[in-house]
Amino acid sequence: MSGSQSWSVRIVVTGDGTTKFQPWGVGANPGDPAKAQVGDIISWGNATNQPHQPWPTEGNTQNGNPLASNPPGSPLFFSAPIPPQGSSTPQFPVPASLPPATPNGPTTPLTAGSVIYYCCLNHPAERGQIVIF
């Protein structure tokens, strides 16, 4: 099923001083995964005093390094750098599939339970997830 909802993720500094991604919603905590459907729009708001940039991981893996190349217009280009207290641009529409892991390889359809892993390009230890429902 395709979505048409908008979801927001805040970039926050937690009580212990770490920076985490926090989905906007009742009961959501820093570090929780965002949930979305294919076709939904996700945006990020930076509630910190440092610039951040959500960025896909190599091989779409939980602990992967930031993807080496991800130019604007790529299927997993989430946002340009987000200034302190700023919002992401452009908006990120959840794609129907992940791009090929290798040149000319197959795409991976995103279905219920699929996960898109990302990190901050500027601070790769900051990790987030988008879980497809």
**Distance in angstroms (rounded) separating the CA atoms of residues 129 and 31:** 9
pLDDT of 128 > 80? The answer is: yes
**Per-residue model confidence (pLDDT) at position 102:** 82
Average pLDDT for residues 8-15, to the nearest whole number? 98
**Distance in angstroms (rounded) separating the CA atoms of residues 10 and 44:** 6
Domain for residue 97, yes or no?
yes
Domain for residue 124, yes or no?
yes
The H-or-E segment that residue 132 falls in is: strand 127-132
Q: What CATH number is attached to the domain comprising 111?
A: 2.60.40.420
* Whether 22 contacts 32, CB under 8 Å: yes
pLDDT of 1 > 70? The answer is: no
19-65 tens-digit pLDDT: 999 999 899 999 999 999 999 999 999 999 999 999 999 999 999 99
Domain for residue 23, yes or no?
yes
Domain for residue 116, yes or no?
yes
Domain for residue 50, yes or no?
yes
Domain for residue 1, yes or no?
no
Domain for residue 44, yes or no?
yes
Q: Which domain holds residue 39?
A: 6-132
Closest CA to 95 of 38, 55, 42, 41: 38
Domain for residue 128, yes or no?
yes
Number of separate domains in the chain: 1
Omega cis (within 30) before 90: yes
